[in-house]
């Protein structure tokens, strides 16, 4: 080995080359200076980002609650399955309840920081100042901090899309510990909610379908590992259900939520009018009294659903009507599915369900966690001090613009038939958003919460694309290093 100093005019300074006569590694003073400046920014980012992600909960004085939170909290204490309430997530909440759930929130914030950084790292863009800048924009302009501060599965939906992408497309850039950690997180996210499971399953299926077109761009090993997260997630969910209830079965809810969506589209009323003279159903006497929305039917006070025995008394009939109505009115169902998907895509307001009126969740905390009642009641959310109108003046335009820009990036990449790493991420997230809109809109009906929990990922990808553009434009050496982004044509 030998050292020799050379004038590195291209990099604007003195460079030091260490290597053999046949070649070596050049470390310019600019690079050394850049690395010395990155260290403090790395510490600043590691401290500031998690704190700001939890700023809503810190301001509130207690983790943010939502209508569905109580159903998850109760899973540890109630030995039965509840519609659309994952026992796997219920166990996760129980593990942190001794800390008043601040351990859960800290876990969610640190996972978010790690996954944001890891995404930038596999794209060769992981500079601390860049990470901090992107994170600050996401915290200010998207629902991300509200998701991280809430006791709900929603934070895992968007993060899991990123981790699945990393596992599949960049498996070779990960250490063994990182692969295991990403695998376990993605599996748990799939087990935490049926919609998340469906989105991840759809992405894996799409990956296998397009693999012949992308060739080496999607490695078989990565796709196998990504697909195995779905299998493991299913096993986690079944194991959690068996552990808490003694039943080795899937979490119920598919037929009920589909029935609710069909009811608010008018399909259930039509089916009852067409078939009640031939088939004796519990709902027949009430066919002219059905409420306008699924939420009113399933969760309203003194509803028809309550009178007929709720899920215990209606599960079989709801499944029967949903299945037969799908066959009876295929064109209507298709039209309703397209409308619901389109409506779900633009339903992205932050804060749905984070009001002061969540009596079921309050009741669950009072019943099973009485020591936390005072702290929970003293929180700002429970005093109706949480308003989202002004916040959504920013969040909604940013979300809609991000989806348009994301679609433009994805379509441009497909048009030129050449995908680099950022383009592949853009296509992945676009498919995930469409899949989420279809699954949630068609099965459950459009809700702002379902859109807000995913659309921040579109903003993240747009910011990555913008950072890459600026890096190529203003820092040619960085641009040259990014040539490994280029991939074979489709």
For 148-186, how does the pLDDT look when each residue is reduced to its tens digit (9 = 90+)? 999 999 999 999 999 999 999 999 999 999 999 999 999
Asked whether the beta carbons of 462 and 189 are under 8 A apart, the reply is no
State yes or no: pLDDT of 476 exceeds 60: no
pLDDT at 453 (0 to 100): 97
pLDDT at 397 (0 to 100): 98
State yes or no: pLDDT of 144 exceeds 70: yes
**Mean pLDDT of the chain, nearest integer:** 87
- The DSSP annotation for 318-350 comes to HHHHHHHHHHH-HHHHHHHHHHHHHHHHT---T
Nearest to 91 by CA among 79, 105, 76, 102: 76
Task: Look at 16-25, 309-318, 358-367 and tell me which has the smallest mean pLDDT.
Answer: 16-25
Asked whether the beta carbons of 83 and 256 are under 8 A apart, the reply is yes
Q: For residues 206-224, give the mean pLDDT.
A: 90
Task: List C-alpha distances in Å: 375 to 82, 189, 362.
Answer: 27, 29, 12
State yes or no: pLDDT of 488 exceeds 70: no
Q: For residues 19-37, give the mean pLDDT.
A: 50
Asked whether the beta carbons of 425 and 461 are under 8 A apart, the reply is yes
User: For 369-402, how does the pLDDT look when each residue is reduced to its tens digit (9 = 90+)?
Assistant: 999 999 999 999 999 888 999 999 999 999 999 9
State yes or no: pLDDT of 135 exceeds 60: yes
**Rg for the chain (alpha carbons), in Å?**
25
Q: Which residue has the tokens 């490695």?
A: 219
pLDDT at 155 (0 to 100): 98
Asked whether the beta carbons of 464 and 422 are under 8 A apart, the reply is yes
Considering the chain, what percentage of its residues have pLDDT values greater than 70?
Answer: 88
Q: For residues 178-198, give the mean pLDDT.
A: 97
Q: For residues 221-225, give the mean pLDDT.
A: 95
pLDDT at 291 (0 to 100): 86
Q: For residues 286-296, give the mean pLDDT.
A: 83
Helix axes 421-443, 154-169, angle to 10 degrees: 140
Helix (H) or strand (E) holding 13: strand 13-20
3-state SS class at 180:
helix
- The DSSP annotation for 92-138 comes to HHHHTGGGTTHHHHHHHHHHHHHHHHHHHHHTT---HHHHHHHHHHH
Please give the Cα distance from 424 to 202 (Å, whole number): 16
- The DSSP annotation for 222-290 comes to HHHHHHHHHHHHHHHHHHHHHHHHS--SPPS-HHHHHHHHHHHTTHHHHHHHHHTTTS--TTGGGTTS-
Q: Which residue has the tokens 């992600």?
A: 53
Q: Which of 56-60, 84-88, 334-338 has the highest mean pLDDT?
A: 56-60
User: For 236-264, how does the pLDDT look when each residue is reduced to its tens digit (9 = 90+)?
Assistant: 999 999 999 999 988 877 677 788 888 88
Q: Which of 107-116, 120-129, 475-484 has the highest mean pLDDT?
A: 107-116
Q: Which residue has the tokens 């070596």?
A: 24
State yes or no: pLDDT of 340 exceeds 80: yes
Please give the Cα distance from 179 to 186 (Å, whole number): 10
pLDDT at 465 (0 to 100): 96
- Beta-bridge mates of residue 18: 3, 25
pLDDT at 347 (0 to 100): 97
User: For 346-376, how does the pLDDT look when each residue is reduced to its tens digit (9 = 90+)?
Assistant: 999 999 988 888 998 999 999 999 999 999 9
User: Is the overall model pTM greater than 0.85, yes or no?
Assistant: yes
Listed in sequence order, the DSSP H helices in 346-385 are 359-368, 373-378
Under the banding of pLDDT at 50, 70 and 90, the label for residue 35 is: low
Please give the Cα distance from 249 to 315 (Å, whole number): 15
Q: Which of 11-15, 229-233, 247-251 has the highest mean pLDDT?
A: 229-233
Of residues 256 and 293, more confidence is placed in 293
Please give the Cα distance from 145 to 48 (Å, whole number): 13
Please give the Cα distance from 415 to 331 (Å, whole number): 32
Helix (H) or strand (E) holding 164: helix 154-169
Nearest to 134 by CA among 465, 480, 483: 465
Under the banding of pLDDT at 50, 70 and 90, the label for residue 474 is: low
Which of 400-410 are b and which e, b meaning 16 or more Cβ less than 10 Å from the residue's Cβ? Answer: eebbebbbebb
Considering the chain, what percentage of its residues have pLDDT values greater than 90?
Answer: 64
Q: For residues 38-43, give the mean pLDDT.
A: 80
Of residues 36 and 102, more confidence is placed in 102
- Cα distance between the two ends of the chain: 44
Task: List C-alpha distances in Å: 332 to 140, 259, 274, 275, 336.
Answer: 41, 14, 15, 17, 6
Q: For residues 122-132, give the mean pLDDT.
A: 94
State yes or no: pLDDT of 475 exceeds 70: no
């Amino acid at each position: 080995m030998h050292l020799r100093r050379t004038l590195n005019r291209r990099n604007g300074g003195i460079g030091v080359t260490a290597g053999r006569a046949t070649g070596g590694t050049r470390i310019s003073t600019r690079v050394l200076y850049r690395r010395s400046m990155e260290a403090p920014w790395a510490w600043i980012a590691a401290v500031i980002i998690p704190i700001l992600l939890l700023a809503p909960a810190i301001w509130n004085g207690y983790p943010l609650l939502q209508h569905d939170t109580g159903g998850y909290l109760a899973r540890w204490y109630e030995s039965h399955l509840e519609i659309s309430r994952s026992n796997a997530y219920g166990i996760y909440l129980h593990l942190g309840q001794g800390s008043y759930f601040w351990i859960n929130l800290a876990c969610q914030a640190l996972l978010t920081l790690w996954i944001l950084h890891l995404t930038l790292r596999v794209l060769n863009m992981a500079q601390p100042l860049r990470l901090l800048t992107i994170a600050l924009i996401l915290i200010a302009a998207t629902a991300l901090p509200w998701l991280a501060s809430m006791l709900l599965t929603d934070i895992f939906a968007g993060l899991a899309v990123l981790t699945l992408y990393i596992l599949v497309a960049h498996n070779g850039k990960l250490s063994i510990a990182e692969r295991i950690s990403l695998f376990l997180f993605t599996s748990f996210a799939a087990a935490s909610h049926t919609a998340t499971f469906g989105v991840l399953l759809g992405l894996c299926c799409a990956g296998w379908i397009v693999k012949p077109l992308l060739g080496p761009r999607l490695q078989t090993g990565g796709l196998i590992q990504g697909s195995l997260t779905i299998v493991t997630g299913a096993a986690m969910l079944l194991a959690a259900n068996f552990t808490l209830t003694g039943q080795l079965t899937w979490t119920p809810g598919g037929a009920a939520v589909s029935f609710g969506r069909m009811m608010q589209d008018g399909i259930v009323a039509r089916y009852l009018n067409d078939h009640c003279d031939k088939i004796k159903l519990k709902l027949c006497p009430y066919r002219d009294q059905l409420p306008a929305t699924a939420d009113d039917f399933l969760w309203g006070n003194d509803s028809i659903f309550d009178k007929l025995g709720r899920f215990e008394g209606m599960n079989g009939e709801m499944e029967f009507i949903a299945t037969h109505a799908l066959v009876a009115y295929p064109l209507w169902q298709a039209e309703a599915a397209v409308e619901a998907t389109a409506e779900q895509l633009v339903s992205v307001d932050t804060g749905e369900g984070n009001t002061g009126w969540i009596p079921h969740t309050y009741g669950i905390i009072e019943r099973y966690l009485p020591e936390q009642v005072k702290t929970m009641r003293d929180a700002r959310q429970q005093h109706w001090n949480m308003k989202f109108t002004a916040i959504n003046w920013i969040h909604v335009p940013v979300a809609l613009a991000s989806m348009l820009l994301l679609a433009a990036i994805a379509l441009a990449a497909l048009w030129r038939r050449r995908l680099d790493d950022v383009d592949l991420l853009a296509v992945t997230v676009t498919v995930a958003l469409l899949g989420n809109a279809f699954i949630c809109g068609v099965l459950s009906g459009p809700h702002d919460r379902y859109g807000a929990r995913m659309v921040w990922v579109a903003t993240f990808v747009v910011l990555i694309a913008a950072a890459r553009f600026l890096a190529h434009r203003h820092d040619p050496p960085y641009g040259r290093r990014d040539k490994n982004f280029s991939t074979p044509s489709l």
